[in-house]
Amino acid sequence: MAEPLIELRNVTRRFGSVTAIRDMSFAAHAGEVHCLLGDNGAGKSTLIKTLSGVHTPSEGQMYVDGKPVTFASPRQALDAGIATVFQDLSMIPLMSITRNFFLGREPLKGAWITKRIDMKRADAIVYEELGKIGINVRDPQQAVGTLSGGERQCVAIARAVYHGARVLILDEPTSALGVHQASIVLRYVAQARQRGLAVIFITHNIHHAYPIGDVFTMLNRGRSLGTFRKSEITEKEVLDMMAGGREIRELQQELERFSKSGSGAEAVS
Amino acid sequence: MTDALNPAHPPEPKPVSRNLTRLMRRPELGALTGTILVFLAFGLTAGNSGLFSMAGIANFLQVSAQLGILAAAVALLMIGGEFDLSLGSMIGFASVTIGLCVTQFGLSIPVTVAITFVVAIVVGALNGFLVVRTRLPSFIVTLAGLFILRGLTLAVTRTITGRTQIPYITEGHEGSFVVWLFGGKFGGPVFAWLATHGWIAARPDGSPMVQGLSMSILWWVIVTAFATWLLIKTRFGNWVFAVGGDDRAARNVGVPVDRVKILLFIGTALSATLFAVIQVLESGSADTLRGTQKEFQAIIAAVIGGCLLTGGYGSAIGAMFGALIFGTVEMGIFYTGIDTDWFQVFLGSMLLIAVLVNNYVRRKATEAR
Ligand SMILES: Nc1ncnc2c1ncn2[C@@H]1O[C@H](COP(=O)(O)OP(=O)(O)O)[C@@H](O)[C@H]1O
Ligand SMILES: [Mg+2]
C-alpha cells in the first residue's frame, strides 16, 4: 500500500496527570476517508489537535509523507497541507464569507502603502468555489452568520480544499446538523476524497460515518481498539465496538464479581 | 461556467440592489442617522445662537476633531476586541513629556515631538504585551495603566517643577513648522477671500473673524481615512475583525493574534499622543490633568459609531460620526444656553440607545436567511 500522507507512531499525549491518548498509531492515506470513532472523552479531539499542530506529542513521532515532523503551531501544519475544520471554531460569524474564506491567506494587490486585499478577485473566487458545491450565496460579502450550519461547514471545507489542503481533518462536522444538512456535508466529503485528499472524519454518529468511511479507527479511553477497513467490519460490529466498549467491560466486571462471590459461597458450604 | 450545468446556481444579483443591501448592513448607518437628527434638532432650535455661524462651526468641529482622533484608534482596538482605559492618562503623560523636554531639558520642539511619539509606542506596546501575556481582560490591565500613568505624570511633574502645569512651551517658537503642523490653523487664504466677498463675518479691517480651521480637523480626517483604509482594504484590517470576532478561530487559520493586538494598543497610545501634541502646541502649555475621562468619551464615540462592546464589528467612519455628534451636542448645548448638566444626561442616553441599536444590527447581520 502507498505511503500514508500523515501518520502517528506510538504517540502519547498527557495533560498533567491525565493521559488523553496512549501509545496511538494512526495513518491516513490519500483518497480515503478515515473515520475516527469513540465516546466522549475517548481522545478524538486530542488526536486531531496533535495532527493539526495545536498540541505536540509527549511521546512518539508524527510523520508527513514518511518524514518525521514536529509542528509548533497550526500555521505550520496548514503550510504542510494539513487543514482542520474545528467544530465551531473555524468561522467568524460577523465577518463576510469572502473575508472568512481568505482569512490568513488574503490575495493582495498594489505595492507598499497601497497594498490591499484584492476583494473583487476574492469575491469572484468565493462565488465560483461555492457554486461548484451547490451553495449559492446571494452576496459573498454577507456575514457567515447568515449561512445555515451545513453551509458553514461546507464553506469551511471548501476553504481548506481551495487553499491546497492534502489532509482534511473534520471534527464532528455533522453532529450539530439535521439529516438534510448532514447529507450535504457528507456528499461534499465524498467529493474531497475523489479529489485525492486524505480525509479524517471524527464523529460519534455511525450512520454518518459508515456510508462514507473507507477505514475505521475506534478509540476508547485514549487507546485504539483497532483499525479496520470497511470490508473487514460491518456497521453493526462498529456500533457494538463503539457503544459496547464501556458496557462490555462493566459487564465483565459484574460477571467476575458474581463468580467470585459464587466461589466464596462454595467455600462456606 | 458552472452556472449552465447547475440550475440551482442563479446569476449574480444586480449590483444596484446588492450595493443597497451592503449599505444597509454597514455599522455606521446608525451613527449617520444620529448625526442627521442632531443637526436637524439644532438647526431648528439653535438657529440664531451662533452654533451655525462660521465661528460656531469652527468650534464644534475642533471639539469633535480632538475626540475623533482618539475615537478612530479606539474603534480599531474595540473591533479587535479590547479596551484601553489608560488612554486619557496617556494624554496627560504625553503632555508633560513635551512640556518637560522643552522647558526643562531645552530640547527643540521637533525633537521633543519625535521623542513623545516614541514614548507612546513603548507605552502602547507595554499595554498590549501585558494583555496578551497575562490573558487578563484589557479592561483591568489598562485600568491599572490609567492610575499608574496619571500618578507618574503628577509625581514626576511636581518633583521636577514643583507645579502641576507647565506653561510657556511654545514661546519663541510661534513660527515653527512643527508648531503649525499640529497646533496651527489651515485654510486662512480661503477664509480671507470669503471675508473680502462678505460671505463670512469680517472684522472692521476686512480680515475674517475666523482666521482658519484648527489643524486638528485635518488630522481627524487623515486619521479616520487611514483607519478606514486599514480596516476595509488591508490584510491587517481583516485580521483585526478576526481577532475581535473569535481569536481562537483566527489563531487556527494562522493569524498572528498577539501581534495584531499589540499593534492596536500602540495605535491608541499614538492617538492619545497626537491629541496631546495638538493641545499642547495649540495652547502653549501642558497640564498633568489633560485627557481626564477621554478614555470613556472615546469609547462612547466609537460605540455610537457602531462598534460592538464584544468586538469583531464596527467602523472608523462610524466613530467619526460618533465624535461629531459628541462635539456638536456639547457645543450646541453651550450655544443654546441649555444647562450643560444636561449634556451628561444626553450622553448616557445616546450610549444606551447606541448599544441597543448595535445589538439589533448585529442580530440582523448574522440572522440566517
Ligand atoms: N487541554 C487539556 N487539558 C487537560 N485535559 C485535557 C485537555 N484536552 C483533553 N483533555 C482530557 O483528555 C481526555 C480526552 O479528551 P478529548 O480528546 O477532548 O476527547 P474527545 O474529543 O474524544 O471527546 C479527556 O479526559 C479530557 O478531559
Ligand atoms: Mg471532542
Quick: pLDDT tens for A79-135: 899 998 887 667 899 999 999 999 999 999 998 888 999 999 999 999 999 988 778
User: What is the mean pLDDT of the segment spanning B190-198?
Assistant: 86
pLDDT at residue B7, as a whole number: 40
Grid cell of B321 as nine digits: 460620526
For residue B284, how many C-alpha atoms fall within 13 Å in the half-sphere facing its CB? 9
Is residue A36 within 8 A of residue A219, CB to CB? The reply is yes
Indicate the domain borders of chain B: 50-362
Q: Which residue of chain A is at minimal alpha-carbon distance from B246?
A: A92
Which residues are bridge partners to A21 per DSSP? Answer: A13
pLDDT at residue A39, as a whole number: 82
Among A95, A114, A129, pick the best mutation site for testing chain B contact (most B Cβ within 10 A). Answer: A95
Is residue B49 within 8 A of residue B337, CB to CB? The reply is yes
- Across the interface, of A73, A92, A108, the residue whose CB is closest to B249 is A92
CA A139 to each of CA A121, A159, B82, B369: distance values in angstroms, whole numbers, following the listed order: 14, 17, 30, 12
> Which is the closest atom of ligand 1 to the Cα of A38?
22
- Show residues of chain A in contact with B12, CB under 8 Å: 127
Which of B135, B101, B106, B147 has the alpha carbon at shortest distance from B261?
B135
Query: CATH fold of A6-92+170-180+193-268, please?
Result: Rossmann fold (3.40.50)
Is residue B302 within 8 A of residue B319, CB to CB? The reply is yes
Grid cell of B204 as nine digits: 472692521
pLDDT beyond 90 at B49:
no
Among A103, A125, A132, A133, pick the best mutation site for testing chain B contact (most B Cβ within 10 A). Answer: A103
pLDDT at residue A244, as a whole number: 58
- Across the interface, of B9, B22, B235, the residue whose CB is closest to A117 is B235
Which of A1-10, A16-25, B15-24, B349-358 reaches the highest mean pLDDT? A16-25
pLDDT at residue A269, as a whole number: 39
Grid cell of A154 as nine digits: 461546507
Is residue B98 within 8 A of residue B110, CB to CB? The reply is no
3 state SS for chain A: CCCCCEEEEEEEEEECCEEEEEEEEEEECCCCEEEEEECCCCCHHHHHHHHCCCCCCCEEEEEECCEEECCCCHHHHHHCCEEEECCCCCCCCCCEHHHHHCCCCCCEECCHHHCEECHHHHHHHHHHHHHHCCCCCCCCCCEHHHCCHHHHHHHHHHHHHHCCCCEEEEECCCCCCCHHHHHHHHHHHHHHHHCCCEEEEEECCHHHHHHHCCEEEEEECCEEEEEEEHHHCCHHHHHHHHHHHHHHHHHHHHHHHHHHHHHHHHHHC
- Show residues of chain A in contact with B1, CB under 8 Å: 128
Is residue B220 within 8 A of residue B286, CB to CB? The reply is no
Band (pLDDT 50/70/90 cuts) for residue B252 is confident
- Take atom 11 of ligand 1 and give the residue whose Cα is closest: A20
Grid cell of A5 as nine digits: 500522507
Indicate the domain borders of chain A: 6-92+170-180+193-268
Burial class (CB in 10 A: 0-12, 13-18, 19+), B17: exposed
Residues counted in chain A:
269
Instruction: Using the mean position of ligand 2's atoms as its centre, give its distance from the Cα of residue A149 in Å.
Output: 18
Band (pLDDT 50/70/90 cuts) for residue B368 is low
> Which is the closest atom of ligand 1 to the Cα of A21?
14
Band (pLDDT 50/70/90 cuts) for residue B29 is confident
Residue A48 beta carbon below 6 angstroms from any ligand 1 atom: no
Task: Decide if B235 and A84 are in contact by the 8 Å CB cutoff.
Answer: no
Task: Decide if A104 and B366 are in contact by the 8 Å CB cutoff.
Answer: no
- Show residues of chain B in contact with A93, CB under 8 Å: 245, 366
Range from B79-88, B181-190, B305-314, B335-344 carrying the lowest mean pLDDT: B335-344
- Take atom 14 of ligand 1 and give the residue whose Cα is closest: A43
- Take atom 10 of ligand 1 and give the residue whose Cα is closest: A20
Mention the CATH class of domain B50-362: mainly alpha
Task: Decide if A95 and B245 are in contact by the 8 Å CB cutoff.
Answer: yes
Query: Between residues B5 and B194, which one has the greater pLDDT?
Result: B194
- ipTM of this predicted structure: 0.85
Reading phi first (left if > 0) and then psi (alpha if -120 to 50, else beta), residue A24 is in beta
